[in-house]
Amino acid sequence: MITIRRSTSSTANQSIVLKESKKKEGNLAWLKRVGAKDGLLLIGGASTSHFRIRVAQSHARADLKPSLWSLAGILTSNETFLSAPLELCGAASEIATRNGVQTCRMSDYDDPDQFPNIAVLRFTADTTMILDNANRIADQRSIIDLPALMLPWLSYIWIAGKATNPLSEGLGLPSAAFVEIAYGVAGIELTPGLSSATSCPEAIWQAAKWWHDYYVQASATTHEDNARAQSPTGSYAMRQPVAAVDWPPPEKN
């Protein structure tokens, strides 16, 4: 297991609100309905690869249950977001030229059966600074080498070679590591519960739910050159609370 610290907060953050999806509503329509155009995006998938990522994050939970989440990103609008997904959104050569960072379309993550869980979290109102940092990471591999993180995670989800859970080796999920660095350069710590640099969507989710007192204190001491932290707010929809491989659906005879 990775080492985690428990928050001193006795109650969950009431500003993270469950907003159930309507019948047959896709994720794109859900984002538009809740008015989300910026902030930190979490998605939980139901394919084999996303299922394995969710199970891998059991290390980041005290109860050892799989995570709700398998991908993190930064919204640029209610239709696009920046992330470092393990799946390709474009040409393979862009992985090296853009340091693994891709502009992803929400339409590719719209299917509520394929991607049943979604959340939008706001740790700051200074979104411009976060997006500027995200683009710097895409242009400067020296900040963090995201392709180097992709290799062990791909090996893990494919069960290729001597694959082990990357989190147990202190290797964060690329999409979460990308988001954490973008916020971290702006002076906002996304995973105060981790005693290591391990990044994963579950740790970000736990911070938003249980470390709200920490962010209130951080807001009072924010340096003028950094983004101002806030007690996290946001919305989420949870269609698959228990991780399972539900995608693609079985073929009918």
Kindly calculate the radius of gyration of the chain based on its CA atoms and give it in whole angstroms. 17
Per-residue model confidence (pLDDT) at position 186:
95
Per-residue model confidence (pLDDT) at position 196:
63
Q: Cα separation of 186 and 16, whole Å?
A: 22
pLDDT tens for the chain, 253 residues long, are 677 777 878 899 999 999 999 988 999 999 999 999 999 999 999 999 999 999 999 988 888 999 999 999 999 999 999 999 999 776 778 899 999 999 999 999 999 999 999 999 999 999 999 999 999 999 999 999 999 999 999 999 999 988 899 999 999 999 999 999 999 999 999 999 876 668 999 999 999 999 998 898 888 777 777 899 999 999 999 999 999 999 998 877 6
Triad 183, 111, 51: Cα angle to 5°:
65
Q: Are residues 140 and 116 in contact, defined by beta-carbon separation less than 8 angstroms?
A: no
65: buried, middle or exposed (CB in 10 Å: 19+, 13-18, 0-12)?
middle
Q: Are residues 77 and 46 in contact, defined by beta-carbon separation less than 8 angstroms?
A: no
109: CB partners within 8 A, 6+ apart? 27, 43, 71, 115
Give the CATH fold of the 16-238 domain. endopeptidase fold (from Nostoc punctiforme) (3.90.1720)
Per-residue model confidence (pLDDT) at position 194:
79
Q: Are residues 43 and 87 in contact, defined by beta-carbon separation less than 8 angstroms?
A: no
Domain boundaries, the chain: 16-238
Per-residue model confidence (pLDDT) at position 21:
93
Q: Cα separation of 22 and 141, whole Å?
A: 41
Q: Can you give the pTM of this predicted structure?
A: 0.95
**Number of C-alpha atoms within 13 angstroms, CB side, residue 176?**
27
